[in-house]
Structure 1
């Protein structure tokens, strides 16, 4: 049985890239239904081991309040090695930072957030984060 590597939910899509990165592309509005699907995907991938998530927000528009609340209550920060956002505007940065602050205050935050402009910058940052992680383990 093969492991699923690509997903589509609403107007959004995701793909897993070995060894440890989930690339998510958000296009348009994010509803509660989309957030639920994304949270379930994080749980599925995180159940196999911690991973980096790179979220491309260059074509994202709004995020429903219910969607934000659902994600904040239903993700496990332990699933993530790190989170990188591509093209996040002011609102998306604020939402990401508020979610991370909430998890930090509860002692559950185990990863860093990063913001970049392009996929190339994200790939460079991923390589740097993996190297840093390898050095800490060694």
Structure 2
């Protein structure tokens, strides 16, 4: 009986840190969180401060901001793994002068061809 290779799950895509992630899923993951945060922030801006739903919407936005930050870091860790670079390189995202440049590099720099230190194939958890 042949062992069937499992497809990666969304939980691994957004919150796993092992394995590799190519450019397109990385960009789509960041775009997803940008849309979710934009929608919740738009709702916060649309509700008057004295309305009873203002505080819950602010709390929703803050919770989503925390979750999206963690997820974006996990996406970026897998992305630098695909480039065969160490995970601490994502600390560049926290340096204001480097953050936009680092994100740009993560989005356009190609991954390594074939197996590398972090897995056989991109877009898969490390086997």
What TM-score does the superposition give when structure 1 sets the normalisation length?
0.28
Specify which structure has the bigger relative contact order, considering alpha-carbon pairs within 8 angstroms and separated by 6 or more residues. Answer: 2
The structure with the larger Rg is: 2
**In proportion to residue count, which structure has more helix?**
2
